[in-house]
Amino acid sequence: MPASDRAAAREAGELVVVKLGGETFAEGQATLDGVVDAAERHRLVLVHGGGKRLSAWLDRLGIESRFEGGLRVTEGEALDVAVAVLGGLVNTELVAALARLGVPAVGLSGADGGLIIAERLPHLGRVGRVVGARPAVAQALVERGLVPVVAPLALDETGAICNVNADDAAAGLAAALAARLVLLTDSDGVRSADGRTIARLDEPAAEELIARGTITGGMVPKVRGALAALRAGSRGAVIAEGRATGSLRRALDDPGFGTRLVASTAHVDRDSQALSTR
């Protein structure tokens, strides 16, 4: 596509917030190629994780990682390392990889322009829950044809830096931008107890699966974040596998790919619709 056509397509394109798993882009060229393809057709805001890279650096530096309820307690030196690794290393590597592929990526963290607002969780040090977003800085970049790449850091109400879950950050941004939300991961959507991918999932069904222990670990913030984003004005939310060629395009265009979160409706026949599997 000629550059001018590309720019026109992008300008007309829908705004999409895409979360890349910390591992998906480090491991795969296919994920990056998917972003290049999506950037030609949509206005994009990217959010990245990086928990595994952070754990590796904490280990290397001899700083112990303590987890409570699946969340990393982040204080003191661990916070310094989180800021350096997520906001520095992982963010810059992703920006550089995209720049090499011709995507005009600009690195930010959730602290820039007060982009992501967090509320500290008790007993976890500087770990926050995303409670809002001030998307002006991301909007300004998108309007200039640039692609913001956001590290999962935030500021709390006192202005202190917090580490936040990247799914949570992406969901908060999608809500504030009234954008579509795509959470790319290493699993092909949300699986039911029998291991099949759930095509459509609403809030009551999701909470039931969480209560039953079918949805656990890192899938919990994805599902809850995506549902919260939908409630708060996001234009659709999907959780899909992000490592294969064409994944992001399929997550955006193919209703049969990944798990779509849907608004709760009292009338939905849950077995056939909201919890339909393939």
Ligand X SMILES: Nc1ncnc2c1ncn2[C@@H]1O[C@H](COP(=O)(O)OP(=O)(O)O)[C@@H](O)[C@H]1O
Distance, CA of 39 to CA of 37 (rounded, Å): 5
Q: How far is the CB of 246 from Mg ion (least distance, A)?
A: 23
Distance, CA of 48 to CA of 19 (rounded, Å): 6
Distance, CA of 153 to CA of 161 (rounded, Å): 7
Does 274 sit near ligand X (CB under 6 A)? no
Q: How far is the CB of 182 from ligand X (least distance, A)?
A: 12
**Cα dist. 275→30, 86, 95, 241 in Å?**
30, 35, 37, 19
> 74 or 185, CB closer to ligand X?
185
**Binding map of ligand X across residues 25-64, x = CB under 6 A, - = no contact:** ------------------------x---------------
- Residues forming contacts to Mg ion in the complex (CB under 5 A) are 218
Site for ligand X in 173-192 (CB under 6 A): 185-187, 190-191
Q: How far is the CB of 247 from Mg ion (least distance, A)?
A: 17
> 22 or 107, CB closer to ligand X?
22
The answer to whether the beta carbons of residues 163 and 171 sit under 8 Å apart is: no
Does 92 sit near ligand X (CB under 6 A)? no
And the tokens for 219? Answer: 């899938």
Q: Is 58 helix (H, G, I), strand (E, B) or coil?
A: helix
Distance, CA of 43 to CA of 61 (rounded, Å): 39
Distance, CA of 148 to CA of 62 (rounded, Å): 33
Applying CB under 6 A, among 17, 21, 44, 135 the residue interacting with ligand X is 21
The answer to whether the beta carbons of residues 83 and 153 sit under 8 Å apart is: yes
Q: How far is the CB of 185 from ligand X (least distance, A)?
A: 3
Site for ligand X in 205-234 (CB under 6 A): 214-219
Give the closest residue to 276 by CA, choosing from 264, 265, 260.
260
Q: How far is the CB of 244 from Mg ion (least distance, A)?
A: 19
Q: How far is the CB of 267 from ligand X (least distance, A)?
A: 25
Residues at the contact surface with ligand X, assessed by CB under 6 A: 21-23, 49, 185-187, 190-191, 214-219
